């Protein structure tokens, strides 16, 4: 369970190990990360966050909602790198995590280098939607991931490349989008109006409270949008 930030009073003897771990994290040199977006992945879902600072032993992240109860998360960065992390504290929209598998190369984490074009972070979910084309005809589909700029839509029969559509679902603000790529029943959509990061974070948290996440083996292949 994620704990609230510990009080100033001395911890009881049973918490000595946790206190030592927290002290080790504080003693490691910390680096400020300005507006570095990431996502926290757990069995409960995938959640956007902003990394505020990092050291070789842990990170501090800006949150947009309460974390779900989970003993462990994976922090995924924009380049796809993942780090197993364990929650240590949570207070006033921020949370601290320790790296679960020991110290990491903080410079590599900060660099976030990749030979490929950087993409916005995608949140995997399973959301039934209604897709309406420019002729006013509506059909059912499913969003299988969602980002600030677009989404992965699965539906059959497929849509044409470049086709303009409107996406609607309970709890999802209506979005107009264009089909940028297509592979069989999978379609890459680009929104005409992007989500703000904080807006998407709160929206995804709300949607995932009732959405069924897709098992890894069932996710369709994707290409860069």
> What letter would DSSP give residue 137?
-
Same domain, 213 and 172: yes
Angle at 222 between CA 209 and CA 49, to 5 degrees: 40
Query: Is 7 inside a domain boundary?
Result: no
CA 109 – CA 28 distance, rounded (Å):
15
Q: Do 76 and 133 belong together in one domain?
A: no
Question: Could you tell me if residue 8 is inside a domain?
Answer: no
Listed residue (50, 11, 103) closest to 3, CA to CA:
11
Last residue of a domain, one of 60, 79, 111: 111
Q: Mark whether 198 and 134 lie in a shared domain.
A: yes
**Is residue 6 included in any domain, yes or no?**
no
Predicted confidence (pLDDT) per residue in 159-206, tens digit:
999 999 999 999 999 999 999 999 999 999 999 999 999 999 999 999
CATH number at residue 45: 2.40.10.220
Same domain (yes/no): 129, 72: no
Classify the phi-psi angles of 92: left when phi > 0, otherwise alpha if psi is within -120 to 50, otherwise beta: left
Task: Find out whether 186 and 220 touch, Cβ atoms under 8 Å.
Answer: yes
Residue 106 reports pLDDT greater than 50: yes
Quick check: is 116 in a domain? no
Q: Sign of dihedral through CA atoms 197, 203, 204, 206?
A: positive
Q: What is the pLDDT of residues 201-212, one digit of tens each?
A: 999 999 887 644
| Position 216 pLDDT exceeds 90 | no
Q: How confident is the model at residue 219 (pLDDT cuts 50, 70, 90)?
A: very low
Residue 140 clears pLDDT 90, i.e. is over it: yes
79 versus 46: the higher-pLDDT residue is: 46
Structure confidence by residue, pLDDT tens digits, 63-99: 999 988 888 999 999 888 999 999 999 999 999 999 9
Q: Is the pTM of this model over 0.85?
A: no
Q: So what's the pLDDT on residue 108?
A: 86
Range of the domain at 41: 13-111
pLDDT at 204: 92
User: Domains in the chain: how many in total?
Assistant: 2
User: What is the pLDDT confidence band of residue 33, given thresholds at 50, 70 and 90?
Assistant: low
Residue 145 has pLDDT above 70, yes or no: yes
Strand partners, 166: 132, 176
Tokens of 95: 């949370």
Residue 129 · residue 167 · CB < 8 Å: yes
**Residue 4 falls within a domain, yes or no?**
no
Query: Looking at the structure, do residues 214 and 140 belong to the same domain, yes or no?
Result: yes
């Amino acid at each position: 369970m994620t704990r609230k930030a510990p009080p100033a009073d001395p911890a009881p003897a049973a918490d000595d190990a946790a206190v030592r771990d927290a002290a080790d994290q504080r003693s490691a040199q910390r680096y400020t990360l300005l507006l570095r977006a990431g996502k926290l992945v757990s069995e409960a879902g995938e959640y956007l966050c902003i990394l505020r600072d990092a050291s070789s032993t842990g990170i501090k992240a800006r949150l947009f909602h309460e974390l779900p109860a989970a003993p462990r998360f994976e922090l995924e960065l924009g380049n796809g790198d993942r780090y197993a992390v364990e929650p240590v504290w949570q207070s006033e929209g921020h949370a601290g995590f320790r790296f679960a598998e020991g110290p990491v190369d903080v410079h590599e984490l900060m660099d976030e280098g990749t030979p490929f074009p950087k993409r916005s972070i995608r949140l995997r979910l399973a959301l039934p939607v209604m897709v309406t084309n420019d002729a006013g005809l509506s059909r059912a589909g499913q969003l299988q991931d969602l980002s600030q700029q677009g989404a992965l839509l699965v539906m059959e029969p497929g849509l044409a490349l470049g086709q303009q559509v409107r996406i609607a679902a309970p709890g999802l603000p209506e979005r107009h989008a264009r089909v940028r790529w297509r592979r069989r029943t999978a379609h890459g959509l680009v929104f005409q109006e992007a989500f703000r990061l904080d807006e998407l974070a709160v929206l995804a948290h709300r949607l995932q409270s009732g959405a069924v996440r897709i098992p890894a083996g069932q996710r369709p292949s994707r290409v860069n949008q």
